[in-house]
Amino acid sequence: MAEQLSFILADGIYQTPENQKVTKDVLQAKLVAPINPRNRKDKPMMLV
């Protein structure tokens, strides 16, 4: 059995309302995209 996903990490360009809905409907997970990921390499991403 596959493990349940809570979050899907994607590039900001994929963070659209339609993609968020599809991710929730198909995978039962939340689509998240970090803001300016290149500028935050030294900081871990926080999920809330």
pLDDT in 10s for each residue of the chain, 48 residues:
467 889 888 887 888 899 999 999 998 999 988 776 565 555 565 554
Q: Report how many domains make up the chain.
A: 1
Flag whether 26 is in a domain.
yes
21 lies in which domain range? Answer: 7-40
- At 20, give phi and psi (nearest 5°): -65, -40
**Quick one: pLDDT at residue 25?**
94
Flag whether 21 is in a domain.
yes
Flag whether 14 is in a domain.
yes
Flag whether 1 is in a domain.
no
Which alpha helices (H) appear in the chain, and where do they start and end?
A: 17-27
- Contact at 8 Å (CB) between 28 and 9? no
Flag whether 45 is in a domain.
no
Q: State which H helix or E strand residue 25 sits in.
A: helix 17-27
Flag whether 47 is in a domain.
no
Token pair recorded at residue 7? 């979050």
Flag whether 13 is in a domain.
yes
Residues 39-46: contacts with CB within 8 Å, 24+ apart?
45/9
